[in-house]
Structure 1
Amino acid sequence: MTALGFLCPSDHPKDDYPRIEQLLASDVRVDVIGTDTDEDARRVEVLRRMGAADRLAADVEALRLAGAEAVVWASTSGSFVHGWEGAHEQVRSLARAAGMPASSTSFAFVHAAQEIGVRRVALAATYPDDVAGLFADFLRSAGLEVVAVRAAGVGSAADAAAWGGPELFALAEQADSGEAEAVLVPDTTLHTAAHLPALEKSLGKPVLTANQVTVWEALRLTDRRVNAPALGALFTREPIVQV
């Protein structure tokens, strides 16, 4: 049994995680702990406070006791708002506090894009323009080319969590570009796990979504690979061999 630990903002719905655990159909356990959030707003200063090192460290003990072998800060905006260097320091601090390998959803997107061998990406973000722009900058710092950005301007996690399949598909289609090799959907509040094969069929290319890449990243940290076609191309392709 491989136990994966996730720190998830307490105001974010966590329905996708048990669904992904089920779709993995393997000896993988997914443990989710909610972290403290003092305000549900997609503003940069609020998102930076949400991902502060002391807040994340306060909740890792529960994951240690649960036997987690790796921990991922399951928030895209709560990591990339710190910038490339700040996000690295965030996960270094989390690893020290947890005593286990650590990462965040922002780095999960970078590693997932590398895994499936794509460089040019379109960004389908629920965020306001300024927050979406920070994620685009983060991806560029990782060497990805962001060829299109669609920002839906949703101002709170609660509003994003109310989205269903029609809104998700519409956003992805609006963001897509002929130049993009993949479409990235960076919001852990969105329920995407049930829609991945249909999204990829609709767009004709890989789709990387926040909760999907977050679980994949935790598996990567534990050196596990699971073939799960219901979770999209990321979970079905052979790894890219770097030369």
Structure 2
Amino acid sequence: MDSVPTIRQTDLALEFDTRPLKKRAGLIILATDHTTEPDFQRMVASEKIGLYTARIAFANPTTPDNLRRMQPSLTEGARLILPDEDLDVICYSCTSASVVIGDDVVALAINEAKPFTPVVTPPLAAVRGFEAIGARRISILTPYTIETSTPMAHYFSAQGFEIASFTCLGLDDDRAMARIAPQSLIEAAREATAGDADALFISCTAVRAAAAAPAIERAIGKPLVSSNLATAWATLRICDDTRPRPELGSLMAQPMGHW
């Protein structure tokens, strides 16, 4: 028979910190997402910034209709991240869904659960990124089909950007998008970037463009703004991390004027 020791509860007076980490960044990501968490762990997480994630249901194929179906899940997804506690920022990590649902609608749904919390979406983060680097004429590369890419073209045009070229890869499964090899991304970026563009945007939080950002910028000779690079940059700046980190890509050396 095992001997059970006597357990004593100490009367030691404990001190408690307000938070385990100074800043809290929430992520709402797709159930199928392979890429956002590794990218944010590499670029955002630190001894001062903690990452807290909720996954919401998503069913491929990646079409505008399927993307819109995530909208009702946004509030509950936000509510599940540290319930009844404040966050400093929350990112909805889906570019194409943010475009078809709308940045403002996404923010309203998330703020229903987390009032007054800044909400980052990838397309709006890309807009702020282009503002930071002074780009007005852009090339766009997406992994999507033409159907899913078309709202993206309308979005950036409505934001006042000139689209020098727009290229898509024709994929409709975000799990396949996450498996595109970095060298293929570099080659696709080189082909997709117009000579007279100020910068290139690579859409989709599933695509591993942020990890390849320095190599892509060397290949195209222009700044890169990708979905995860832009959202990580915006998240850092909102969390008061202003360190320039150009080794992650030229955007990461820029301040953010406003959110």
| Smaller-chain TM-score bracket | 0.7 to 0.9
Matched, 1:80 2:96: no
**Equivalent in 156, 160, 164 of residue 143 of structure 1:** 160
Amino acid in structure 2 at the alignment position of 1:105? P
The residue that corresponds to 1:186 in the other structure is 203
**Equivalent in 94, 117, 122 of residue 105 of structure 1:** 122
The residue that corresponds to 2:54 in the other structure is 33
CA distance in 2, matches of 1:18, 1:174: 30
Structure 2 CA distance for partners of 1:161 and 1:238, relative to 1, 3 Å:
closer
Three-state SS of the structure 2 residue aligned to 1:183 is strand
Three-state SS of the structure 2 residue aligned to 1:227 is coil
Matched, 1:47 2:67: yes
Structure 2 CA distance for partners of 1:8 and 1:239, relative to 1, 3 Å:
closer
Higher radius of gyration, 1 or 2: 2
Structure 2 CA distance for partners of 1:226 and 1:29, relative to 1, 3 Å:
farther
- List 4+ stretches of structure 1 deviating above 6 A: none
Matched, 1:59 2:59: no
**Equivalent in 51, 69, 93 of residue 109 of structure 2:** 93
TM-score by length of 2: 0.83
**Equivalent in 28, 35, 39 of residue 16 of structure 1:** 39
The residue that corresponds to 2:12 in the other structure is none
Task: Identify the structure with the greater helix proportion.
Answer: 1
Q: Are 2:186 and 2:215, in contact at CA under 8 Å, matched by a contact in 1?
A: no
Three-state SS of the structure 1 residue aligned to 2:67 is helix
Q: Are 1:124 and 1:184, in contact at CA under 8 Å, matched by a contact in 2?
A: yes
Matched, 1:119 2:136: yes
Structure 1 residues 13-72: Cα deviation after superposition (integer angstroms, max 9, x where no partner) = 1322212236xx6632233321122x121211001112x1x3011111232447531111
Equivalent pairs counted in the alignment come to 233
Q: CA deviation at 1:161?
A: 1.1
Amino acid in structure 1 at the alignment position of 2:96? S
Structure 1 residues 134-193: Cα deviation after superposition (integer angstroms, max 9, x where no partner) = 101101111111110001001110111111112211221121001111000011111223
**Equivalent in 149, 170, 175 of residue 192 of structure 2:** 175
Structure 1 alignment gaps of length 5 or more = none
Q: CA deviation at 1:216?
A: 1.6
Identity %: 22
Amino acid in structure 2 at the alignment position of 1:121? I
The residue that corresponds to 1:7 in the other structure is 28
CA distance in 2, matches of 1:79, 1:150: 19
Matched, 1:154 2:162: no
CA distance in 1, matches of 2:256, 2:119: 21
CA distance in 2, matches of 1:111, 1:238: 10
Q: Are 1:76 and 1:186, in contact at CA under 8 Å, matched by a contact in 2?
A: yes
Structure 2 CA distance for partners of 1:129 and 1:11, relative to 1, 3 Å:
same
Amino acid in structure 2 at the alignment position of 1:55? S
Structure 2 alignment gaps of length 5 or more = 1-21
Larger RCO, structure (CA 8 Å, separation 6 or more) = 1
